[in-house]
């Protein structure tokens, strides 16, 4: 499944998957190919636990697009209007939305300003760590080099490079920890809107344009909502 090209192997578990097996399955030449693996655990009522495995075999804390993919899978099979997903980094609520699937996170604590060689940047947490770097043109900026600089200053994190085009539009590229550059990052989109709000007033609904498409973020005082497509690619047995 994928959300704006941020793709995942969704395993209807529970299942124990070793780091070596994760790397094999996520390999885009020798395996299925994916940015990560999400394993659905046994439900407690309408709440399903979901361990996250990054493509390099490491474990993740939270995943916005992955949550939306898992939510669509479960809503399609179990029905209902909404459900909860328990990730190591916190629980999110998911529902169907005109854009596809929407999930709601707890709002982050105030972003922390960072100085990266004179570049404006912020550290933000959405259950997983992010560093948001504002640049003049994300399409031409050296994402790999900026990600290395950000991690040297702030520790291991997902790194976003962004440009605020208007108060309702942000352009974004992401280098995800344990994966590399991805076509989209849901928590990264939310982190970027939170960081942008430190510098200017943002619209109620912000379109975050990533290489894989558009994600939509609504930022509130206590919650953030992330919406966008969640699509099937194929189903099988591994």
Q: Which residues are catalytic?
A: 63, 185
Segment 18-26 long-range contacts (CB within 8 Å, at least 24 positions apart): 18/57, 19/53, 19/57, 19/58, 20/57, 22/53, 22/54, 22/55, 22/57, 23/55, 23/56, 23/57, 25/238, 26/55
Q: How many of the other CB atoms lie within 10 Å of CB of 30?
A: 10
Asked if 97 contacts 110 with a C-beta cutoff of 8 angstroms, the reply is no
d(CA 154, CA 89): 19
Q: What whole-number distance in Å separates Cα of residue 136 and Cα of residue 41?
A: 43
CA 155 to CA 116: how far, in whole Å? 13
In the structure encoding, which two tokens stand for residue 232, read together? 């099937």
Q: Is 236 helix (H, G, I), strand (E, B) or coil?
A: coil
Residue 92 burial (10 A CB sphere; 0-12, 13-18, 19+): buried
Spell out the alpha helix ranges (H) of 107-169. Answer: 143-154
The answer to whether the CB of 48 falls within 8 A of the CB of 83 is yes
Alpha carbon of 61 to those of 75, 87, 196: distances in Å? Answer: 22, 6, 23
């Amino acid at each position: 499944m994928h959300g704006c090209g941020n793709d995942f192997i969704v395993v209807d578990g529970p299942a124990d998957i070793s780091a070596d097996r994760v790397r094999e399955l996520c390999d885009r030449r020798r395996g299925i190919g994916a940015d990560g693996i999400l394993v659905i655990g046994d439900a407690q009522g309408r709440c399903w636990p979901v361990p996250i495995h990054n493509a390099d075999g490491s474990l993740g804390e939270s995943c916005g697009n992955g949550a939306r993919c898992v939510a669509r899978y479960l809503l399609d099979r179990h029905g209902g209007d909404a459900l909860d997903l328990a990730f190591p980094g916190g629980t999110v609520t998911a529902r169907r939305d005109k854009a596809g699937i929407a999930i709601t996170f707890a709002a982050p604590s105030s972003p922390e300003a960072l100085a990266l060689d004179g570049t404006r940047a912020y550290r933000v947490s959405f259950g997983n760590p992010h560093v948001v770097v504002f640049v003049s043109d994300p399409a031409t900026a050296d994402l790999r080099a900026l990600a290395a600089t950000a991690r040297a200053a702030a520790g291991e994190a997902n790194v976003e490079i962004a440009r605020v085009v208007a108060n309702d539009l942000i352009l974004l590229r992401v280098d995800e920890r344990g994966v590399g550059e991805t076509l989209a990052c849901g928590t990264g989109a939310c982190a970027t809107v939170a960081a942008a709000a430190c510098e200017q007033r943002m619209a109620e609904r912000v379109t975050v344009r990533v290489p894989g498409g558009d994600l939509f973020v609504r930022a509130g005082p206590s919650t953030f909502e992330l919406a966008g497509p969640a699509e099937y690619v194929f189903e099988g047995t591994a």
